[in-house]
Structure 1
Amino acid sequence: MSSTDYQSGREALGGRLRELRAGAGLQGKELAERLGWQRSKVSRLELGKQTATASDLEAWALALDAPGEVADLHSRLRGLDSQQRSWRRQLARGHRAVQDRYVVEYRRTSTVRGYEATVIPGLFQTPDYARHLILLNAELMQSPRDTDEAVNARMRRQEVLYEGDKTFRILVWEGALHALIGPAEVMAGQLDRLIGLPQISLGIVPLGAPLTLSPKHGFWIFDEEQVVVETINTELTLESTEDITLYGRAWDRLEESAVHGQQARRLTGRARASLDLN
């Protein structure tokens, strides 16, 4: 997370602490006396000039006879630990370093739940599809071109698909099957790859399926311990219990609308048949 975002979050937490104190009808000095703290500590926490610890927040709530606020305060504190990485900074020397990091991440993960709304997931990409996607991204971000190295690293990531101790449950919005990343021949090869995947749980969310959640953006849940979300300019890593639970619930709702097996292959085949290969 950038220093500005972190400070904004810390100030927001301080504002909530101040609201709770004022709501209890206490002055800062009175609360400090109850807690056995220096008055300056209460002030620093409320102004966002000091980061509270989990025990600080619990003591604060209990001193105000508001134990029901502890969970919310802890959640706000964990939110400060969310990591936000700028793509511009990550790609300053090219794309390979990012791909290498993903290789490590997937190798140390046992269970992955993922969802993509606009592209075929990197785990399933052909080299040609990956190459066009990386080139498009490099042009957008105006980053150095290390395309061959980045593609090779992305292909190394796919080795985890054949490791027997891992579980992959992946969902793809049907629109991604029709998004032309490169020429029709590239898309044809990519869709053939999807149809011939090894025994992996791949679900397609059909365009006409009843939904209990809009498709939104892609996200990946690793071992139910962290969620990675990619936007145009940043990569977010979320680790709070609340965030992981929320994204898990979103994945479950999308999975309810997905089709698998032969039905998924039929949708993929239909997308391939729609390509103009002449």
Structure 2
Amino acid sequence: MQRGTRLSDGRTLPRSGPTHVPSVHDARAALGARLRELRVNAQLTGRQLAALLHWPHSKVSKLENGRQTPSSEDIRAWTGATNAVSNAEALLVSLQTLETQYAEWQRQLRTGLKPHQAKLTELNARTRFFRVFEPTFVPGLLQTAEYARARFEQSGRVFGVRHDIDEAVQTRIQRQEILYRPEKRFHFVLTEAVLRYRLCPPEVMLGQLDRLVSLSMLRNVKLGIIGFDVEYDVAPAHGFWLLDEDRAMIETFSAELNLAQPQETELYGRIFARLATVEGISYGRDARNLIANAAEHWAAYQPDESA
């Protein structure tokens, strides 16, 4: 018999069966279905509407089938051509919600790396309880300036945005001031792989590990590390941040997802609880021992100055 996850307050979280959580694709498909409805009500075929708007027919098809997100100009043009201008405002609200859910990096970083960090600063200021799971890299709130620079340089190479790395690093480090506010709570869960991945020079990683040890001793910061020998209850498929009970944030290669529907945040809350209480996870001194072991690993890459 499979047991649920035992929480720190004594409650048992039951294993959950398959759950359908509305996705960004669902939201895009729903918007496309509404656009199709307006076209059909106007007694226009897809080709006729495309001709009226001077669009390729494929664009109408992609919008209606949720394979492309319309712009606000597309919606205004569509509602005008279908004599449904009164529907434009509601559709634009749906579009704004969709764009909040799915924020493409190419669009977000168009003006540089710093503005996105400033946006996160404002969001973090409103958040009181942070739950963060990362299987690959050190979370931004725990990064040293040198580690942050390495992360931004990697992003810059992918997206061609490298003109404001210094400003982005400075803004990220300033964000970390919230770690010292007693009214805020932080629960970070990392995999041991985070301590070992070679995402920066060894000397940078050594400094980063030292900072993890220091921050793990803050009263309002709880740091858990899932060691290589731990058997997972839930696969560490991707990292995510839970901000209070209001939002789950996930970063992919192409976009930042912001999930705010209750069933979405509840699902990620259950997943975090499983990861944070998996049998064998290390906290406190045990977590710091794993960090120390990783530091010994990285120290072996340092040149022998006595030679």
TM category, shorter: 0.7 to 0.9
Counterpart mapping for 1:24-173 below 5 A: 83-173=101-191
- What secondary structure, in the 3-state scheme, does the structure 2 residue paired with 1:196 have? helix
Structure 2, unaligned runs of 5 or more: 1-23, 42-63, 66-96
For the 8 Å contact 1:225–1:244, the answer to whether it is kept is yes
- CA distance in 2 between counterparts of 1:259 and 1:14 reads 51
Once the two structures are TM-superposed, the CA of residue 10 in structure 1 deviates from its matched residue by 3.5
Paired residues of 1:114 and 1:170 also in contact (CA < 8 A): yes
Q: Secondary structure at the match of 2:277?
A: helix
Question: How many aligned residue pairs are there?
Answer: 220
CA distance in 2, matches of 1:226, 1:7: 19
8 Å contact kept, 1:9–1:80: no
CA contact 2:114–2:168 (8 Å) conserved in 1: yes
TM-score, scaled to structure 2: 0.66
Distance 1:98 1:136 in 2: 16
1:224 corresponds, among 245, 250, 270, to 245
Aligned CA RMSD, in angstroms, stands at 2.7
Query: Structure 1, unaligned stretches of length 5 or more?
Result: 16-39, 41-47, 50-78
Query: What secondary structure does 1:274 align onto?
Result: helix
Distance in 1 (CA, whole Å) between partners of 2:35 and 2:242 is 30
Q: Could you tell me whether the CA contact under 8 Å between 1:191 and 1:272 is conserved in 2?
A: yes
Q: Deviations over 1:239-268 (max 9, x none)?
A: 111111110111011111221101100111
- The 1-side partners of 2:302 and 2:28 are apart by 53
Paired residue for 1:271, among 282, 285, 294?
Answer: 294
Residue 213 of structure 2 is aligned with which of 195, 201, 222? Answer: 195
> Structure 1: how far apart are the matches of 2:259 and 2:196?
30
Partner of 2:235: 214
Partner secondary structure for residue 208 of structure 1: coil
- Residue 237 (structure 1) shift: 0.4
Contact 1:88 1:143 survives alignment (8 Å): no
- Residue in 2 aligned with 1:261? 284
Match of 1:54 in 2: none
Q: Look up the match of 1:56.
A: none
Cα distance change of structure 1 residues 152 and 223 upon mapping to structure 2, 3 Å threshold: same
Runs of 4+ in 1 over 3 A off after TM superposition: 3-7, 9-15, 79-82
Match runs of 1:177-192 below 5 Å:
177-192=195-210
Distance in 1, Cα, partners of 2:260 & 2:295: 38
Q: Deviations over 1:114-140 (max 9, x none)?
A: 111100011110000100110011101
CA distance in 1, matches of 2:184, 2:121: 14
Residues 86-140 of structure 1 show CA distances to partners (whole Å, capped at 9, x for unaligned) of 0011111210001111111111111111111100011110000100110011101
